[in-house]
């Protein structure tokens, strides 16, 4: 991989917004690190992008695990020698209002959505600082501003991201 090709990491790339974002960056000529805890889904995406003539690398990561986010950033650097952008998109949602959501579900949503965004940024920042440039985009939601009935943990976690 030539080191002059810009590289983006997209977390939550196996489906939804993350998948579409990864596809768009690939179509625009970026080397794309497709990162997700869904190993099969992210491998399928990377395979599809590579088959279409794009540059893609699948990385299995749980963004709530600091060592895993560091390994993700290291994989990108080993592959392209750079990280130009990161889309911190990985997220989960569980149903439950403040009285019914379990503490375990609350904590897992906060770990993935809020702490995961922080750990993703922290993992890529040293490389971006060394390069003297880079961009990090966090995917949030309007429910982080106003809340939404029945998804207390999700609303709070997106408020933390904002």
Q: Which two tokens stand for residue 27?
A: 């179509």
Q: What's the gap between Cα 105 and its chain centre?
A: 20
SS3 of the chain: helix, strand, coil, percent, to 5: 50, 15, 35
3-state secondary structure of 89: coil
Cite the active site residues.
Answer: 154
- 42 by Cβ neighbours in 10 Å (0-12 / 13-18 / 19+) ranks as buried
Write phi, then psi, for 36 (nearest 5 degrees).
Answer: -170, 160
């Amino acid at each position: 991989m030539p080191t002059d090709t810009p590289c983006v990491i997209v977390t939550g790339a196996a489906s939804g917004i993350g998948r579409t974002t990864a596809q768009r960056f690939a179509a625009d000529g970026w080397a794309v690190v497709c990162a997700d805890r869904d190993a099969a889904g992210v491998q399928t995406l990377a395979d599809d992008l590579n088959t279409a003539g794009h540059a893609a690398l699948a990385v299995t990561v749980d963004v709530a695990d600091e060592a895993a986010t560091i390994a993700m950033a290291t994989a990108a650097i080993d592959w392209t020698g750079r990280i130009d952008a990161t889309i911190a998109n990985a997220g989960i949602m569980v149903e439950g209002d403040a009285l019914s959501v379990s503490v375990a579900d609350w904590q897992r949503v906060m770990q993935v959505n809020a702490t995961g965004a922080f750990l993703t940024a922290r993992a890529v920042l040293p490389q971006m600082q060394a390069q003297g440039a880079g961009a990090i985009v966090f995917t949030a939601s309007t429910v982080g501003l106003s809340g939404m009935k029945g998804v207390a943990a999700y609303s709070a976690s997106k408020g933390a991201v904002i």
